[in-house]
Amino acid sequence: MTIELTDAFGLIGGVALILGVIPHQVRLMRVLLVISGIGGVLYFALQEEFGYGLPLALLFLAINAARLFQLWNRARAGSMTREEQELFDHVMRIEDPSKQNRLRDLMQWRDMEVGEVLIEQDQIDPPLIYIATGRASIKRDGQLVNECGAGEFVGEMSHISGEGASATVTVVLPMRMAQLDRDALAQLTQSLPEIGRAVDSAFNRSLAVKVVRMNEAIEQAQN
């Protein structure tokens, strides 16, 4: 009986893990990964496997349970922060609350200090970041080529092109930023094309601002 129960928990954990990478909804994905983690913990515990298997299963469960709690707590709180409202209303121009909440699930907000590096030049799959406050320098081969600040994105060109980072981005003024989950965003924009169009438009506006600023800097240098 114990062997059958152990196999059942292992099967549940494995199936939930596979299903967990399919959903477009981040919350559902986390629920399935938590179920997978529980199945894994019970499987290794009943097997009396106390080597690497059980600790790794416990860590996997703890990480996903914490992220799921974070999502539920944010949804229960309901109200958006000023930074989130600015991002959705004025930067991405998404008015539908349900779509705003779907995007909120993909974001992690952090405060960054001066000197912290957001992106390294040639970094593969660099993070996709929205700057709410603060400022960052953009350097290519050690030379300052641009700056970016509140209301702008960094990493959007790599997200669009699929290539590595073309420059190093470093915080030069204390920053409040949100990092978006690139893979989850790609899945979400596939399932909801209207969000994809809004995100692409926001990225294009951010890139346009950088191009204008760079051209102005070149003109000033020439004069």
Residue type, 46: L
Q: pTM for this one? A: 0.66
User: Is pLDDT larger for residue 81 or for residue 130?
Assistant: 130
Nearest in space to 47 (alpha carbons), one of 7, 14, 80, 91: 7
User: Is pLDDT larger for residue 115 or for residue 47?
Assistant: 115
Are the C-beta atoms of 164 and 158 separated by less than 8 Å? yes
The full length of the chain comes to 223
Residue with tokens 């641009």: 146
| b/e 20-46 (16+ beta carbons within 10 angstroms → b) | beebeebbebbbbbbbbbbbbbbbbbb
User: Is pLDDT larger for residue 59 or for residue 8?
Assistant: 59
Mean pLDDT of 53-73: 82
What's the pLDDT tens digit per position in 120-164? Answer: 999 998 999 999 999 999 999 999 988 999 999 999 988 888 899
Predicted confidence at residue 44, as pLDDT, reads 81
Adjacent-strand bridge partners of 173: 135
- The DSSP letter of residue 90 is I
CATH number of 82-222: 2.60.120.10
Are the C-beta atoms of 182 and 176 separated by less than 8 Å? no
